[in-house]
Amino acid sequence: MRKAVLGIVVLLVVTLIVAFYPASVDKPALNGSGPLAVYIDPQYAAPATHSPLDWWQTHHMDVVNRGDLQQTDCLYCHDPEISCNNCHGYVGVDPIVIPTLPITKISSND
């Protein structure tokens, strides 16, 4: 009797795992569709450093960490919300944040 109950419990657990296992999520794709689509404005030509693209996609942070490029250099051509943060969220790294300039109050001498 114990073996039958244990077998049913194991079968139930396996069934629940299979039923509620998260579905696979498509990777972010350049010019793809949906919430993970990555869009790069076509008015900007890809620099030589981005070639081959497969290498660049997985190693660009090494270039930034070495100091060859600053993160702000990327912002000349990339809008983080549509061309960076989709991938960054997918792989679980910090999002790119556009730096804001401090607002300076101009005093008037009346």
Q: Could you report the per-residue pLDDT of 30-60, keeping only the tens digit for each?
A: 788 877 788 877 887 777 878 888 888 888 8
Over the stretch 10-27, which tens digit does the pLDDT of each residue have?
Answer: 999 999 888 888 777 677
CA torsion sign for 93, 97, 99, 100 is negative
Q: Is the pLDDT of residue 107 over 80?
A: no
Q: What pTM was estimated for this model as a whole? A: 0.60
Closest CA to 36 of 81, 72, 75, 74: 81
Which sequence spans correspond to the domains of the chain? 25-99
